[in-house]
Structure 1
Amino acid sequence: MAVKISTISALVVFLALLSLSHFSHGELQLGFYNKTCPDVEKIVFGVVQDAFRTNSRLAPLMIRLYFHDCFSNGCDASLLLDSTTSEKTAGPNLSVDGYALIDAIKDELEIKCAGFISCADIIALATRDLVNLASGGKARYEIPTGRFDGRESLASSVNLPGPQMSVSDTVEMFEKRNLDLTDMVLLLGGHTIGKTHCSFIKDRLYNFENTQGPDPAMDPKLVKELKRECPENSKQNKAINLDQNVSSSNIVDASFYKQIKSGRGILQIDDQLATDEMTEQIVTDLAEGDDFLARFGQAMVKLGSFGVKNKDAGEIRKSCRSCKNRFCTA
């Protein structure tokens, strides 16, 4: 399907606005590596494209990794650090993946531009490229770089929104990260290609809020479908698409919003987005409009500016999994 003109126009305007400022977000800058490694984005894209051809699931994995890294302690690649007490070991991060892709990109960059490219910027660029590839080339956004890698990574500092939180509580968490209500709805739109597991939704199917029945907000037809996928007493923990439109469950598009408007949201927070008075109109506009791709890119850029480290507070790691600074806490 061709991209509608208004979507293209919105994206062009957004990119033009970014280009008007040398420093787009604090110390982050478009073309930050133009002198030290002018081909950095080309190199990153080459590795990402090759990996995506053999594993399209990398797109949702990297969106999740990007979100989990940025949301807790800022976009500083602290999630990548290996340690028995690092962020990786926190419960919400145990199922995060995509680390091997970051390692592969870092290895390539260390060959061609040793010591210049941060792991935090690799995450941001790789995620951008995977979003674009998963949209069929319709969702490329420009993202400024210049992040440094954090030296602290502690499981105890991980603080992420949960799928059973209320809209108001979730909004409060986002606002503390300089992300507003619309940003929240857009970023949760990453569920357009995400998956969850039966263990996270069985309560909605069998015993919602101790009622001994399903969540009445969920489409009854979907309840029946999911019960077949997630039997109550089964020990299997099957993966379930968060976008239940089978024709677009692996494509970055606005289908997710159409699904949740029909009571076909898999996670409780997703369903609530479509019915809560704070977010209902935003969901409707995204479901019925044609500018989700451009607006999602804007939200991803805004998320990517949260909590970034400068050269005084961070470093450029040679290995994304370990600090080179002896004061590192991980």
Structure 2
Amino acid sequence: MNHTTTSGARVVHVLHGDTMGTRWRVCVAADARLALPPLHDAVQATLDRIVAQMSTWEPASDISRYNRAAAGSWQALPQPFEAVLRCALDVARASNGAYDPTVGPLVDLWGFGAGGRDPRVADAAEVAAASARIGWQRIALRDDPPAVLQPGGIALDLSAIAKGYAVDAVVACLRERGIADALVDIGGELFGCGRKPDGTPWRVLVEAAPDADDATPCVLALEDFAVATSGVHWHHFEHDGRTFAHTLDPRTGAPVERAPAAVTVIADDAMRADAWATALTVMGFDEGFAFARTNGLAARLVAADAGDDGIRMTAAFTARLLAS
């Protein structure tokens, strides 16, 4: 925990820690006398509760219990888990299954999950068997009390949306404590609210693949909205001279082929930005951009082999850019 002084009595305090296999960082613009340890503990406790509900790496988590549950049984849903799952199903439906929260069997098969195995190339028979167990349409929810049906064989994986939700939850935690000016970052998923002590908005540089032909910096001012980036440049493995993305296409059962190097999505909340960044990555550079433009998503896609037309931005995304 530390702070950077600025004009007047308000400063930027910086808190940080670990969660979900990555780092979290919170910049808070507040009185220089703000007590930091209680705030740090509140943020960490918020994140720990989300892990306890939605991490497949925790055997005792709610999601792990659901994935082990007997066919035909109902699993009680804590409110945050319910909110994330409902959003995940909305994005699955709207993306025609390019994003699917039931992709768990494929994640385990390819060695990307909590099973403890290294990434591997699955054969066609294995892919077919795992694919037979997925399908967001098989998920049934009930409202009173909140619960989700385990139809048999379903394994939820919320890793492409839970981190975004965690960003939103931290923002809510800060606001409950009277903090309106902050920048929250969890593994590159961000939400900015309010302003810095000097009155300027929180500015962030949009991620792109390091070798992308992108000479013009892409800078956003985060004024009460979120930004999330997905991309195969950072998450892939090599096998027999081929590169395999860690992002899986639920529709084929295999890693995404010819995926964009980076996809950035702006949204009102980080949960949706996170899920849509994954969905557009699965769709691919051309289909993903066309879908984003047609559906009014604020998105920026960087092609794996970025050339003259290798970086595309929708009008909704361009409108958020700061002048260079």
> Above 0.5 in TM-score?
no
TM-score between the two structures when normalised by the length of structure 1: 0.25
In terms of fraction of residues, the more helix-rich structure is: 1
Which protein is richer in strand relative to its size? Answer: 2
Instruction: Report the TM-score, using the length of structure 2 for normalisation.
Output: 0.25
